[in-house]
Chains A and B, each alone.
Chain A
Amino acid sequence: MGEKVLMKGNEAVAEAAIRAGCRLYFAYPITPQSELIEYMARMMPKVDGTFLQASSEVAAINMVYGAAGCGRRVMTSSSSPGISLKMEGISYLAGANLPSVIVNVQRGGPGLGDIQPAQGDYFQATKGGGHGDYRLIVLAPSSVQEFADSASDAFDLADKYRIPVMILADGLLGQMMEPVEFKPAKTEAELAELDKQHLDWAMYQNKPEPNHHHHEINSLEIDPHELEKHVLKLDQKYKLIQKNEVKHEEYNVNEDNEILCVAFGTASRIVKSAIDQLKKEGHNVGLVRPITVWPYPSEAVLNAVSKNVKKVVVFELNLGQMVEDVRLAVNGKVPVDFMGKVGGLVFTPEEVKTKIEENL
């Protein structure tokens, strides 16, 4: 393992993606993710990779579709308004079973909103966003280190399941600097292996037989019975992912918790500070932090509602989106309360602490 370097989240995730074997990157500039596209512009040529500034996010995601269809590791990134534009392409990627990585460095919305950190795209990321029955694997890192690590995880998951994976970060994570330690870069031999892994279905020098054996990258099934089969097959994949890939972190979760908090990404960091403070004052508060927000760690949330927990309190930088998944998970066992902050503003540890105290 290498030494620690101080880096912005946006740059760390870009560096980690390159190390993970991403050699194609297509994107359109938008704040607060511009350091990511700029890093790729500088570094991709140095590894003989492709960097291309597309004419829009629509074009970028469709370039991803083309490159992913050729079986190569490819990534795009944007921030909220740009991710909305990518939704058509994301639905096609999902429908065509294409591995790919999409980073959303979220900002305040709706509309043009502002350029401050927010978590308002949770619904869009985890419940669809594009059309049709599909799912993305959605990773929600909460530190620069985790943001970087999520890049290689995302590529591995994308390849394993042939699915688009979204890294759901936010402006704070993108902009802030923290020490980060990178995994070693893929060797030439490993890159060559990666390049071969999808040749059984991808477009590339496939020698078609006269009787129609070429490879097709496609999400169209005009026969309803065929489409039904296709969608049900996708669903089986999603069920497998729900079984195998759920990830969460527990912070001070124990049998004597009075309150259980649930928060993801940047919001969870603030909740942790509040929990530390409350601990000093003699209160026992736990936190479940989903790392995959789809598949959602419902079981972990429910299991963490131990006998003394009076209430679950959910903290998000939006008006209450993940809280719906928490309510489903807790299923009425105890009341679920919510505190949100919008406008691109971030609550302070004191505000979080006060909210928890109200519920003690």
Chain B
Amino acid sequence: METIATRPKSLTDLQFTYCPGCLHGVAHRLIAEVMDELDMRDNTMGVAPVGCSVFAYKFFNCDMAEAAHGRAPAVATGMKRARPSMHVFTYQGDGDLAAIGTAEIIHAANRGEKITRFFVNNAIYGMTGGQMAPTSLPGMKTSTSPYGRDTDDVGFPIKVSELMSALEAPYYIERVSLLTPQDIIKAKKAVRKALLFNKEGRGFSMVEFLSTCPTNWGLDAIESLEWAKENMLPYFPLGVYRDKSVEEA
């Protein structure tokens, strides 16, 4: 019998702990597939965040560190500096990266740390039960913005890829979506570029995934995909925000 799909060896055989319809698992799988394809696993170390993907340190089958909330970029910096021959990636949610860890992420990017950042933007705090995130959309109701996000009061959602692309050092920044099969194919290409640039030691690379949180959005899996397409895509435009490989070519 021919095997046409197996679990990537860069994932352990543990069951994901994500809710049905959650796209964290899809993001994990894309990263692991590319790690396999680029034969990177044995020389890769990752950093898991605090958030729903906290157990990423168990799911990815390479050496992994579990960081304090928001500190993954600093932890990854220490790892990369300690073992420069290794490839280092981080995986963070929007609360982790764009609220509590804003300083760490900006400065790691600004230094051009030769690491890859995977950023899962689901516009909400998943793990703690659906509070407002720095990326929650204007008017969006969450448990800490029960009347809808009031931009006069708490400002606008942070566009992380745009913000990072204001810095000189980052090598590659792209925002992709996980909302349709076609989008997932495109997302994998971005993951591949990011990890390849990492493997080649070119510089800081980041992929922002537009994702969902059916559980805390109070929608089912299909509805949440639709909601994200209608609400997130217009606010967070997909695309390449930085690609120095093109400039170099």
6 closest A-B pairs by beta carbon, nearest first, are: A66-B78, A62-B74, A203-B63, A63-B78, A70-B82, A67-B78
Q: Which interface residue of B9, B75, B86 has the most chain A CB atoms within 10 A?
A: B75
A interface list, Cβ under 8 A from B: 24, 26, 50, 52, 54-56, 58-60, 62-72, 74, 88-89, 92, 96, 203-208, 210-212, 214-220
Q: What is the CA–CA distance of A87 and B43 in the complex, to the nearest angstrom?
A: 31
Indicate if the CB atoms of A210 and B13 lie closer than 8 Å.
yes
| Residues from chain B with Cβ under 8 Å of A59 in the complex | 71, 74, 77, 103-104, 107
B68 partner, pick from A60, A69, A88, A208, beta carbons under 8 A? A88
Indicate if the CB atoms of B68 and A89 lie closer than 8 Å.
yes
B14 partner, pick from A212, A217, A218, beta carbons under 8 A? A212
Indicate if the CB atoms of B63 and A63 lie closer than 8 Å.
no
| Residues from chain A with Cβ under 8 Å of B71 in the complex | 58-59, 62, 65, 89
Indicate if the CB atoms of B83 and A70 lie closer than 8 Å.
yes
Indicate if the CB atoms of A67 and B81 lie closer than 8 Å.
yes
Q: What is the CA–CA distance of A212 and B15 in the complex, to the nearest angstrom?
A: 12
Task: Flag the segment in B54-62, B134-142, B170-178, B193-201 that touches A.
Answer: B54-62
Closest to A70 in B: B82
Q: Can you pick out 12 interface pairs between chain A and chain B where the beta carbons lie within 8 Å of each other? A: A59-B103, A63-B78, A64-B78, A66-B78, A67-B79, A70-B82, A89-B71, A92-B68, A203-B65, A205-B83, A208-B42, A218-B64
- B67: interface (CB < 8 Å): yes
Q: How large is the interface on B (under 10, 10 to 19, 20 to 34, 35 or more residues)?
A: 35 or more
Indicate if the CB atoms of A65 and B75 lie closer than 8 Å.
yes
- B45: interface (CB < 8 Å): yes
Q: What's the nearest-Cβ distance from chain B to residue A82, in Å? A: 14
Using A215-B63, A218-B66 as known contacts, say yes or no to A55 and B107 having CB atoms under 8 A apart. Answer: yes
Q: What is the CA–CA distance of A65 and B70 in the complex, to the nearest angstrom?
A: 13
Q: What is the CA–CA distance of A65 and B79 in the complex, to the nearest angstrom?
A: 8
Indicate if the CB atoms of A62 and B66 lie closer than 8 Å.
no
B78 partner, pick from A65, A208, A214, A219, beta carbons under 8 A? A65
Q: What is the CA–CA distance of A64 and B78 in the complex, to the nearest angstrom?
A: 6
- B47: interface (CB < 8 Å): yes
Q: What is the CA–CA distance of A214 and B77 in the complex, to the nearest angstrom?
A: 20
Indicate if the CB atoms of B104 and A58 lie closer than 8 Å.
yes
Using A65-B75, A66-B76, A208-B41 as known contacts, say yes or no to A50 and B81 having CB atoms under 8 A apart. Answer: yes
Given A203-B63, A210-B12, A217-B65: 12 more A-B contacts, CB < 8 Å: A24-B81, A55-B103, A62-B74, A62-B75, A63-B74, A63-B75, A66-B76, A66-B79, A96-B66, A208-B41, A212-B61, A218-B65
| Residues from chain B with Cβ under 8 Å of A24 in the complex | 78, 81-82
Indicate if the CB atoms of B75 and A205 lie closer than 8 Å.
no
B interface list, Cβ under 8 A from A: 9, 12-14, 41-43, 45, 47, 54, 57-58, 60-68, 71, 74-83, 86, 103-104, 106-107
| Residues from chain B with Cβ under 8 Å of A204 in the complex | 45, 63, 83, 86
| Residues from chain A with Cβ under 8 Å of B81 in the complex | 24, 50, 52, 63, 66-67
Q: What's the nearest-Cβ distance from chain B to residue A55, in Å? A: 4
Using A24-B81, A216-B64, A219-B66 as known contacts, say yes or no to A69 and B58 having CB atoms under 8 A apart. Answer: no
Closest to A206 in B: B63
B67 partner, pick from A62, A68, A74, A212, beta carbons under 8 A? A62
Q: What's the nearest-Cβ distance from chain A to residue B137, in Å? A: 29
Indicate if the CB atoms of A62 and B104 lie closer than 8 Å.
yes
Indicate if the CB atoms of A214 and B75 lie closer than 8 Å.
no
Q: What's the nearest-Cβ distance from chain A to residue B87, in Å? A: 11
Q: What's the nearest-Cβ distance from chain B to residue A231, in Å? A: 17
Indicate if the CB atoms of B86 and A212 lie closer than 8 Å.
no
| Residues from chain A with Cβ under 8 Å of B54 in the complex | 220
| Residues from chain B with Cβ under 8 Å of A89 in the complex | 68, 71
| Residues from chain A with Cβ under 8 Å of B74 in the complex | 54, 58-60, 62-63, 65-66
Q: What is the CA–CA distance of A59 and B102 in the complex, to the nearest angstrom?
A: 11
Q: What's the nearest-Cβ distance from chain B to residue A116, in Å? A: 29
Q: What is the CA–CA distance of A58 and B43 in the complex, to the nearest angstrom?
A: 27
Closest to A89 in B: B68
| Residues from chain B with Cβ under 8 Å of A69 in the complex | 65, 75, 78-79
B61 partner, pick from A63, A68, A96, A210, beta carbons under 8 A? A210
Closest to A68 in B: B78
Q: What is the CA–CA distance of A90 and B12 in the complex, to the nearest angstrom?
A: 29
Q: What's the nearest-Cβ distance from chain A to residue B36, in Å? A: 12
| Residues from chain A with Cβ under 8 Å of B62 in the complex | 208, 214
| Residues from chain B with Cβ under 8 Å of A92 in the complex | 67-68
Indicate if the CB atoms of A67 and B58 lie closer than 8 Å.
no
Closest to B103 in A: A55
Using A52-B81, A63-B81, A65-B75 as known contacts, say yes or no to A211 and B13 having CB atoms under 8 A apart. Answer: yes
Q: What is the CA–CA distance of A60 and B202 in the complex, to the nearest angstrom?
A: 24
Indicate if the CB atoms of B65 and A65 lie closer than 8 Å.
yes
| Residues from chain A with Cβ under 8 Å of B106 in the complex | 55
Q: What is the CA–CA distance of A54 and B81 in the complex, to the nearest angstrom?
A: 13
Q: What is the CA–CA distance of A63 and B14 in the complex, to the nearest angstrom?
A: 29
